[in-house]
Amino acid sequence: MDSRISVVDDLGFRVELDSAPRRIVSLVPSWTETVFALGAGGNMVGVTRYCVEPAEALAPVARIGGTKNPDLRAIAALKPDFVIANAEENRREDVERLRESGIPVFTTYPRTIAGAVEAILKLGHVLGCDPAADSLAREIVRSVSEIETAVGVWSRLRFRVFCPIWKNPWMAFNGDTYAHDVLRMLGFNNIYASAGERYPMTTLAEALELRPDVILLPDEPYAFSERDVEELKAAVAPPLSRRVLVVSGRDLHWYGVHMVGGLKSLADRLARLRAAML
């Protein structure tokens, strides 16, 4: 029976393996957590310093630098037979150098919730964990369906939202992003959806000219905090000053197994916000 595995990643590269990988390096925190959830965590030999979940299981795993500056020599020394990357979190030149050295790299690039679910299925297939990936995908689809049902009429009465991902300079995201699709599902209109750049730079004055009803400040990748909330409240007029809050960046940005609880947690938080706006 042929045990070879062949799958096309999100950038169109075909990844071919003789069998399920036994030495995995992950350059993506959310996918690191997901590999363990799928049951293949015992094969993880290297992760970035930003890979923090599951904390106890990752304690003995080698750290190979950051997502933007991985130590390629350290990765090669681990002799991985499979590397998980992401087109936004990791640099193209690092991925290309790994491929040139003969290491199979599976690059993900989900820009919608559906795309993230598809990536889970592909990753599960490569890892030889199809049943676990199928189960996880079904659980996420079921959770999304429940969230959409709960959102109900709010999907037609969408509040306009400014959701920056960085400060100094301010940066947002357009409609071709996973975070945008999450907000769409939750019944919010991203004021930068039509921006020409995926991550447009802006100013607070420009954002306010787009008349947001709500300002959401995710705590990653930029670590927005309650101090930022207070600064913004002082800079904007009511009622917007009462609609500025910090949300979990993981709930908004992380793919994989975190979607199960993360999307529900974010939905509950924003449902309370909508209720307070009536």
Residue 277's pLDDT is 80
Per-residue pLDDT at 173 = 98
6 confidence band (pLDDT: 50, 70, 90): very high
What CATH number is given for 5-109 in this structure? 3.40.50.1980
CA-CA-CA-CA torsion for 127, 131, 136, 140, nearest 10 degrees?
120
pLDDT class of 276 with cuts at 50, 70, 90: confident
Q: What angle do CA 238, 217, 180 make, to 5 degrees?
A: 105
Same fold flag, 5-109 and 152-277:
yes
pLDDT tens digits for 177-231? 999 999 999 999 999 999 999 999 999 999 999 999 999 999 999 999 999 999 9
CA distance 163 to 244: 10
What percent of the chain has a predicted confidence (pLDDT) above 70?
97
pLDDT for 1: 46
Which DSSP letter does residue 128 get?
T
Instruction: Write down the pLDDT at residue 153.
Output: 72
User: Does residue 255 contact residue 115 with C-beta atoms inside 8 Å?
Assistant: no
Of 85, 78, 83, 98, nearest to 25 (Cα)? 83
pLDDT > 90? residue 4:
no
> What are residue 85's phi and psi, to 5 degrees?
-130, 175
In this prediction, residues 41-63 reach a mean pLDDT of: 97
Say whether pLDDT at 2 is over 80: no
Q: Return the SS3 of 174.
A: coil
pLDDT the model gives residue 3: 74
Taking residues 142-163, what's their average pLDDT? 88
Q: Report the CATH fold assignment for 152-277.
A: Rossmann fold (3.40.50)
Per-residue tokens: 224: 């927005």
Average pLDDT for the chain? 95
Cα→Cα distances 71→46, 51, 99, 100, 209, Å: 11, 15, 15, 15, 43
Check residue 14 and give its pLDDT.
Answer: 94
pLDDT digits (tens, 9 = 90+) for 108-134: 999 999 999 999 999 999 999 999 999
Q: Is the peptide bond between 70 and the residue preceding it cis, with omega within 30 degrees of 0?
A: no
- What's the average model confidence in pLDDT over 226-247? 96
User: What digits encode the pLDDT tens for the residues 64-78?
Assistant: 999 999 999 999 999
Q: What angle do CA 263, 83, 100 make, to 5 degrees?
A: 135
Cβ partners under 8 Å of residue 31, min gap 6: 84, 86, 108, 123, 255, 256
Determine the Cα–Cα distance for residues 100 and 175; give it in Å rounded to an integer: 33
List the domain boundaries for the chain: 5-109, 152-277
- pLDDT for 36 beyond 60: yes
* pLDDT above 50: residue 264: yes
Measured in whole angstroms, how far is the alpha carbon of residue 244 from the centre of its chain?
22
pLDDT given at position 154: 67
Per the CB < 8 A criterion, the answer to whether 113 and 180 are in contact is no
The DSSP symbol for 70 reads: B
pLDDT value at 87 more than 70: yes
Cis (ω within 30 of 0) for the bond into 54? yes
